[in-house]
Structure 1
Amino acid sequence: MTRIDNLLGWIAAIYTRIAQAILVALVLGVLTQVVYRYVFGRSIIGLEELTKLGLIWLTFLTAAVLHRRRRHISVSALYDVMPASSQRLAEILTSLATIVLALFLSYQMNAVWGFMMLKSPVYHIPDTWFRSAPLAAFIPILLQECVNLAREVRARG
């Protein structure tokens, strides 16, 4: 499990750098679009496509990073009122549910992969570039939950 955890740390570091680059590109792209619209009265053709692609990838890459760091959005009100033993059980059940959900969503992506033949209108970006972003998050999240579950079981073991 340590090797997988180290690999996930390395993936998270790479995802962080890619997400930072995407964020800078998005800010510069939107700023450029605003300047072009107000100064020249025109917009840059196709920038919306690139912005959409960047936002999708930014969302899923950072979701995987935040999940690894346990900084993702969670509702902890129920956990906060539970006794410690129930909290551990709830964490195990949450990990199992996350694993099942990630497997199910990955399976669904596989089932519809053949239908992703569309391309964006301006730059002809394949639909798979947009639709493969969730897999970039689901796989590390799935592996991270397996590591978390193994640690919890080992600690209780």
Structure 2
Amino acid sequence: MSKVDVIFNKVLKILEWIMIMIFALLVLDVLFQVFSRYLLGKSFTWTEEFARFALIWMTILGAAYLNGKKQHLSMDFLYQKFSSSNQKKVAVLIQALIFLFALIVMVTGGLNLVYTTLHLEQLSGTLRIPLGYVYAIMPFSGFLIMCFSLYHIFNIYNTKEI
């Protein structure tokens, strides 16, 4: 296994643990909200906002993770009809399109969103944290997706993997 493969697997493992931690915090947050509302008779407003932010982070990080594992949603009926050499070309094209989407929408657009919200000093309603920190997951995940796409293109060219 090459150094790149080792780094790739470590990044995926770290992503797994980050998502597990976010999910655990989300579960604890929702359980605390239910406990406080029904047993204490008091509802804390910050728990709903935290749950929303945790779900956003988990979803966007999950998209990067699934891209890295090549388990993202795809419809491959037409793809399966191609010859083996054409499947390789189409696989590279798909990864290139994923790379471009991540670059343009997630990284460029995400950095613009983060910059704008931080510059305007927008704060979340209840937690009062800068929204730029919440939105920072978008360019981070986009960068990961770009790296994973390059890794997959490299593997398509250097192995028989499709």
- TM-score of the aligned structures, taking structure 2 as reference length: 0.84
In structure 2, what is the equivalent of residue 126 of structure 1? 130
Deviations 1:57-93, CA, capped at 9 Å, x for gaps: 1112222222111122222222223332222111011
In structure 2, what is the equivalent of residue 44 of structure 1? 44
Alpha-carbon deviation of 1:109? 2.3
Counterpart among 131, 145, 149 of residue 149 in structure 2: 145
Tell me: higher relative CO, structure 1 or 2? Use CA pairs within 8 A at least 6 residues apart.
1
In structure 2, what is the equivalent of residue 93 of structure 1? 93
Unaligned runs of 5+ in 1: none
Partner Cα separation in structure 1 for residue 8 and residue 139 of structure 2: 15
Alpha-carbon deviation of 1:23? 0.7
Cα-Cα RMSD: 1.9
- Contact preservation (8 Å) 2:99, 2:149: yes
- What does 1:70-81 correspond to in 2, within 5 Å? 70-81=70-81
Unaligned runs of 5+ in 2: none
Alpha-carbon deviation of 1:3? 3.6
Alpha-carbon deviation of 1:133? 0.9
Partner Cα separation in structure 2 for residue 112 and residue 33 of structure 1: 30
- TM-score of the aligned structures, taking structure 1 as reference length: 0.87
